[in-house]
């Protein structure tokens, strides 16, 4: 079959700063998925996009072409309205775990198609798999049935959604082109739009533990995604939230499940509660329940029944004791003072090296491994007081985890301080 375009012409057009036409975009993504455009050609195009950008119409067309490469789910047959949330990923970000059952407890359907962790950020599926028996892979029919009966599903995204993105993301990962805002926005939004949710709340993380380190770029990413969602008919709002410090007091799979259950029982760290409630309010508003009071439902434990039903429906034993790592080591304050820095990236890498995360997609993770925080920035400490506990099944990992924390914990003289704001901005059209 003769091809309507030549890959080199498309690359050269973007390299020279021109707009790509709609037919060029449709073709290049389709031809790449078919293997007609080679990896080295797509790498060059991705780099040209990173350097020269794309305008709103180009990004929308690129996203539509990625959606067209695969299947679309359809939740219109459900009796409940749907609301979804996506986080760009951070350290200790367990918010999906309490949030999905919390929002579902108000009669809204929450389909959370999630992934596994790679690098220093954890994956929601890895966390839930620390619950004995819990199963991540559901068929579309099982997912629909659970959304109707329980309201909340957290499961693995099937390979049928936006397959062009799967191939392109793997290529970007090894060609230094992950950071291009048009490519990040279209990658995330193609999967979310293909998933068929009626509304979407984006949690765009900013800071050392996020892949957007500065506020202006995070704002641009958020705005691009909100425009893409809105143009596709999905009610989309973004919160920009701080990721310079880990969320809550745990980073690691079973440790984070335990903390999430504390939050659902009415306790847990204040920042996890605050962000869960802020995102729940946005989702409930978008799904037509502005009257709902998610703060009260967390405080009185009333979302716990939905959590139990959600875990049990996927084979999880909600009453099982969660795995605990075989070994632990405590990191203590070296001097009296106030904790000024507890760097999210340093803690994320330490948790990863302890076995909570993986270096390659096929690696196993340790359910009990991770980092427990005993203090937060702004807290006063005395020399010798525990700051962190490191958990692992394999004690030879402690040394590299401690190395990751070098410079990440700063204690200085001064007075105790209140934490800075967690929600930094809200972007809607
Ligand atoms: N997550 C995605 O799904 N895609 C990106 O490009 C970045 C983060």
Is the CB–ligand 1 distance for residue 188 below 6 Å? yes
Give pLDDT, residue 159. 80
pLDDT of residue 116: 80
Ligand 1: distance of its center to the CA of 399 in Å? 31
For 212, 241, 324, the CA distances from 358, given in Å and listed in that order, are 21, 25, 18
In whole angstroms, what is the distance from residue 112 CA to residue 104 CA? 11
Which CATH number is correct for 327-412, 3.40.50.2300, 3.40.50.360, 3.90.1170.30, 3.30.300.30? 3.90.1170.30
Of 277, 231, 270, 262, nearest in space to 378 by CA: 270
Per the CB < 8 A criterion, the answer to whether 110 and 104 are in contact is: yes
What pLDDT is attached to residue 219? 97
Which atom of ligand 1 is nearest the CA belonging to 183? 6
Give the predicted TM-score (pTM) of the model.
0.95
356 token code pair:
């909570």
Residue 46: C-alpha distances to residues 31, 122, 188, 369 (Å): 15, 26, 16, 36
| pLDDT averaged per 10 residues, the chain (length 429) | 93 98 98 96 98 97 96 93 95 97 97 82 91 96 96 91 90 89 96 94 96 93 97 96 97 98 98 98 97 96 96 98 98 96 96 90 90 96 98 98 97 89 96
Angle at Cα 188 formed by Cα 178 and Cα 288, nearest 5°? 155
Q: Give the torsion through C-alpha atoms of 274, 278, 279, 281, to 10 deg.
A: 140
Strand, helix or coil at 371? strand
- The finding on whether 344 has its CB within 6 A of some atom of ligand 1 is no
> For residue 160, what pLDDT is reported?
87
Instruction: Report pLDDT for 395.
Output: 98
Clarify whether 18 is annotated catalytic.
Answer: no
Query: How far is the C-alpha of 94 from the C-alpha of 243, rounded, in Å?
Result: 13
- Per CATH, the number for 7-53 is 1.20.970.10
Q: Which of 414, 422, 247 is nearest to 339 (CA)?
A: 414
Minimum-distance ligand 1 atom for the alpha carbon of 172: 6
Q: Which residue has its alpha carbon closest to ligand 1 atom 5?
A: 184
Q: Cβ atoms within 10 A of the Cβ of 379, count? A: 17
Burial of 137 by CB count in 10 Å (0-12 exposed, 13-18 middle, 19+ buried)? exposed
Which residue's CA is the nearest one to ligand 1's atom 6? 184
Rounded-to-integer distance, Cα 355 and Cα 63, Å: 35
Catalytic residue check, 165: yes
Same topology for domains 7-53 and 84-319, yes or no?
A: no
What is the model's pLDDT at position 133? Answer: 98
Measured between its terminal Cα atoms, the distance across the chain in Å is: 43
Is 319 annotated as catalytic?
A: no
Question: Closest Cα to atom 3, ligand 1: which residue?
Answer: 188
DSSP, collapsed to helix, strand or coil, labels residue 226 as: helix
What is the rounded CA–CA span in Å between residue 159 and residue 136?
Answer: 13
Does ligand 1 lie within 6 Å of residue 404's CB atom? Answer: no
Measure Cα distances from 138 to 10, 231, 282 in Å.
39, 30, 27
Instruction: Please work out whether the CB of residue 177 comes within 6 Å of at least one atom of ligand 1.
Output: no
The pick from 170, 178, 212 for probing ligand 1's pocket by mutation, whose C-beta has the most ligand atoms within 8 angstroms, reads 178
Residue 418: predicted pLDDT: 87
Residue 46 near ligand 1, beta carbon < 6 Å: no
Collapsing DSSP to helix, strand or coil, 13 comes out as helix
Angle at 275 between CA 271 and CA 279, to 5 degrees: 175
Q: Is residue 190 in contact with ligand 1, taking CB distance under 6 Å?
A: no
Q: In angstroms, rounded to a whole number, what is the distance separating the alpha carbons of residues 204 and 267?
A: 25
Among candidate residues 86, 116, 127, 166, the one labeled active-site is 86
Element (H, E) at 341: strand 337-342
Tell me, what's the pLDDT at 118?
65
CA separation for the pair 67, 346 (Å, rounded): 36
Decide if 4 contacts 27 (C-beta within 8 A): yes
Q: Is 5 in the pocket of ligand 1 (CB under 6 A)?
A: no
Query: What is the 213 CA–ligand 1 centroid distance (Å)?
Result: 15
Domain boundary assignment for the chain? 7-53, 84-319, 327-412
Cα of 427 to ligand 1 centre, how many Å?
19
Cross-strand bridge partners of residue 113: 155
pLDDT of residue 1: 66
Closest Cα to atom 7, ligand 1: which residue?
184
d(CA 150, CA 131): 18
Dihedral sign computed on CA atoms, order 174, 180, 186, 189: positive
Best of 59, 63, 122, 169 for a ligand 1 pocket test (most atoms within 8 Å of beta carbon): 169
Residue 205 gets which letter from DSSP? E
Is 302 annotated in the active site? no
Q: Give yes or no: 293 in active site.
A: no
The two tokens of residue 64 are 């539509």
Q: What pLDDT score does 119 carry?
A: 72
Is residue 179 lining ligand 1, measured as CB closer than 6 Å?
no
The architecture of the domain spanning 84-319 is: 3-Layer(aba) Sandwich (3.40)
Query: Contact at 8 Å (CB) between 278 and 202?
Result: no
The pair phi, psi for residue 85, each rounded to 5°, is -135, 145
Q: Which helix (H) or strand (E) holds 332?
A: strand 327-332
């Amino acid at each position: 079959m003769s091809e309507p375009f030549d890959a080199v012409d498309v690359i050269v057009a973007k390299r020279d700063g021109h707009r790509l036409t709609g037919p060029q975009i449709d073709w290049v993504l389709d031809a790449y998925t078919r293997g007609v455009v080679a990896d080295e050609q797509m790498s060059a195009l991705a780099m040209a996009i990173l350097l020269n950008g794309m305008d709103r119409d180009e990004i929308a067309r690129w996203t539509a072409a990625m959606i067209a490469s695969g299947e679309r789910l359809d939740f219109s047959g459900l009796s409940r309205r749907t609301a979804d949330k996506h986080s760009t990923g951070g350290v200790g970000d367990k918010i999906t775990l309490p949030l999905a059952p919390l929002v579902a407890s108000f009669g809204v359907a929450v389909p959370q198609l999630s992934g596994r962790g790679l690098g220093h950020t954890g994956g929601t599926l890895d966390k839930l798999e620390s619950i004995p028996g819990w199963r991540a892979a559901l068929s579309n029919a099982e997912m629909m049935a659970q959304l109707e009966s329980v309201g909340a599903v957290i499961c693995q995204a099937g390979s049928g959604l936006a397959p062009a993105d799967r191939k392109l993301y793997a290529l970007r990962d090894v060609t230094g082109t992950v950071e291009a805002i048009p490519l990040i926005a279209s990658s995330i939004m193609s999967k979310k739009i293909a998933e068929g949710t009626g509304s979407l709340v984006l949690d765009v993380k900013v800071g050392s533990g996020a892949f957007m380190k500065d506020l202006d770029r995070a704002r641009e990413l958020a705005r691009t995604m909100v425009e893409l969602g809105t143009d596709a008919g999905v009610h989309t709002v973004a919160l920009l939230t701080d990721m310079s410090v880990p969320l809550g007091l745990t980073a690691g799979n079973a440790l984070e499940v335990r903390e999430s259950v504390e939050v659902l029982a009415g306790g847990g760290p204040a920042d996890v509660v605050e962000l869960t409630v802020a995102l729940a309010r946005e989702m409930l508003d978008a799904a037509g329940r502005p009257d709902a009071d998610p703060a009260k439902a967390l405080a009185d434990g009333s979302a716990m029944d939905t959590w139990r039903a959600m875990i049990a429906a996927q084979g999880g034993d909600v009453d099982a004791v969660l795995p605990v790592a075989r070994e632990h080591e405590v990191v203590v304050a070296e001097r009296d003072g106030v904790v000024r820095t507890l760097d999210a990236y340093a803690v994320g890498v330490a948790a990863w090296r302890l076995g909570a995360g993986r270096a390659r997609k096929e690696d196993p993770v340790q359910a009990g491994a991770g980092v427990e925080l005993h203090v937060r920035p702004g807290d006063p400490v005395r020399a010798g007081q525990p700051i962190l506990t490191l958990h692992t099944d394999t004690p030879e990992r402690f040394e590299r985890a401690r190395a990751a924390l070098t410079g990440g914990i700063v204690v200085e003289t001064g007075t105790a301080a209140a934490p800075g704001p967690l929600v930094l901005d809200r972007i809607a059209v």
